[in-house]
Structure formats: C-alpha cells, structure tokens
Amino acid sequence: MEATTSPHKTAFVAGGAGGLGKALAKLLAAQGAHVTIFGRTKGPLEEAVKEIERSRLSETQEIRFVVLDLSDSSQVETAFREHDRIPDMLFCAAGGNHAQNGFFVDITAEQVDACMKNNYYATAYPAKSALDIWIEEDKRNKWKASPRTHVRRIIIISSAAAFLGLPGSIAYTPAKAAVRALADTLRFEMLRYSSPASKYSVHISFPGDFISPGFYQEQYTKTHLTKSMQGLKGSIKDLEKKYPSSEKVASLVLDAFTILHINLEHVTFDIMNIILSL
C-alpha cells in the first residue's frame, strides 16, 4: 500500500488558513509533504504557514501560501500554473456561510451569489486547474509512467448540509449539494484519464458541525430556528465541549481517505474495465 502522503509529495490546500484546511495542512506536513495553502487574506495565511512549519518532519519540506480568490478561475489558473511544483493532492477546504445565513426572503441576491462562489466555485476552479495541469503532463508523457505512475487525488470538503433542507441556511445547502454533485460526476469522468501515467481519484467528505473560526462566526449569524434544529444551544464553551475540533475532523478525513483509497484502486479499475468494454 502506498502511504496517503509520503515524503516529497506535494499537497495544495485550498482554504488552508481556515480551521479544517489548516488542520489538514498540519497533518500532511507531519507526514512529510510539501504543502501550499490558498486563501484571500494574507495575515491568517502567514500565521498558518508558521504553524504548519512547526508540524513538518523536515526543514526541507516547503510550506508556502498564495493569496487569491479561489472563486476567480483566472486567479486560480495563474497561481496553479506559476507554482513550481505540480500537486499530487488537492484538498478543497474553502467555504463556509457565516456571512450568508438567513431565510431566503431576508438575504440578498448578492449573498446567494457569494455563498455559491465561496463554496462551489472555490472548489470547482481549483479542481479544474489541477486536473487540466495533470492531464497535460500525462499527454506530454504519452500516457506512460515516467518514471512511475503518478497517484493524483482531489479531496473535497462538502457538508452534511448537502443532504438537508435546513431553513436559514438556504444559500449554503444548495452550494454544498452542488459540490457533492461535482465530486460524484468528476469521479466518473476522471476514470477516463487513469492510465499507466496516472491514477486518479476523487474523494468527498460531509462533516457535521465542528469547531473552527468559521463555526464561531456562524453562531452570531444563524437564525434561532437553524440553531434549534442543529442543537446549537448554549454558550460557546458548551459548544466546544459538544462538537469535535477541526483537528479531529481532519484526522478522520485523512483516515477515511487512506482506507477508501486502498479500496478505490480496485473499484476504479473494475469500473474502467466496464467502461472500456462498452
């Protein structure tokens, strides 16, 4: 079995200064990966890089940040192409909805738009840029292993909200459902590109509530009804006792992804055989 991350692998973490993104980045660094995190705000990215560096195995691991809006396809494309490493893994952990909570009649069209951008487009554009770069490299290598087969993975963070009609989160639930549909469809499309040059897989996680900077902010903007339905009652201290940390969720995501990867290798090739035989 190949480790999820091994020394010298490169991980891109979109939203890597946030709660879950930073926790994932720290775990990846602790496994020996080079890590680049992406977000819109320089200060938290710089602070996150310092924390991630403290988690790395060796000072030879490069930990970097890029300031950009992940919902702007040209910014993402430029940043990914200008990076001097091609990622082995892309984690899409940007998103949230603290500025877009409320009932449909109470939020603005701009909030609906912003929530879709920060959750759906901020996932779709990094995934597309990474995939475009990967396929181009495979084509240059004439779909042959060079010198060995690349293992290329996209790991997407959606939300349990993707499955729910949650009043007061009406900008968010469709955006997370769209993210789910993207992952489900892209997983099949990527089977077309697995070859001796590269093996591709798409993973998705649907966490429930967990403690993060975004979670804290959301407590001030959620409607009373949404909070009641989600069981988000009590003080922040009560919530901190009740809900898992970003670090806990990050380790569950990486554990599940490792186990799934072992199984997926077989599923991938079984499905590919079916597709090829059609």
Residues with catalytic function: 172, 176
Distance CA 87, CA 269 (A): 23
Phi/psi of residue 32, nearest 5 degrees: 105, 10
Measured from the CB atom, the residue of 35 and 70 that comes closer to ligand NAP is 70
| C-alpha torsion 107→108→109→111, nearest 10 | -70
Tally of CA atoms within 13 A in the half-sphere of 19 that contains its CB: 19
Distance CA 228, CA 166 (A): 11
Measured from the CB atom, the residue of 31 and 71 that comes closer to ligand NAP is 71
Q: From the CB of 94, what's the least distance to ligand NAP, in Å?
A: 4
Distance CA 121, CA 146 (A): 32
Q: From the CB of 224, what's the least distance to ligand NAP, in Å?
A: 18
Give 65's DSSP letter.
E
Q: From the CB of 95, what's the least distance to ligand NAP, in Å?
A: 3
Q: From the CB of 69, what's the least distance to ligand NAP, in Å?
A: 5
Measured from the CB atom, the residue of 161 and 264 that comes closer to ligand NAP is 161
Distance CA 14, CA 179 (A): 14
Give 245's DSSP letter.
B
Q: From the CB of 159, what's the least distance to ligand NAP, in Å?
A: 3
Alpha helices in the chain (DSSP H): 19-30, 42-55, 73-82, 109-116, 122-140, 172-191, 213-218, 224-230, 236-242, 246-277
Q: Which amino acid is at 65?
A: F
Measured from the CB atom, the residue of 64 and 196 that comes closer to ligand NAP is 64
Measured from the CB atom, the residue of 146 and 223 that comes closer to ligand NAP is 223
Point out the residue whose Cβ comes nearest to ligand NAP.
18
Please give the residue ranges that form the binding site for ligand NAP (CB under 6 A): 15, 17-21, 39-41, 44, 69-71, 93-96, 117-119, 122, 157, 159, 207, 209-210, 212-215, 246
Token couple for 121:
């487009």
- How many residues comprise the chain? 278
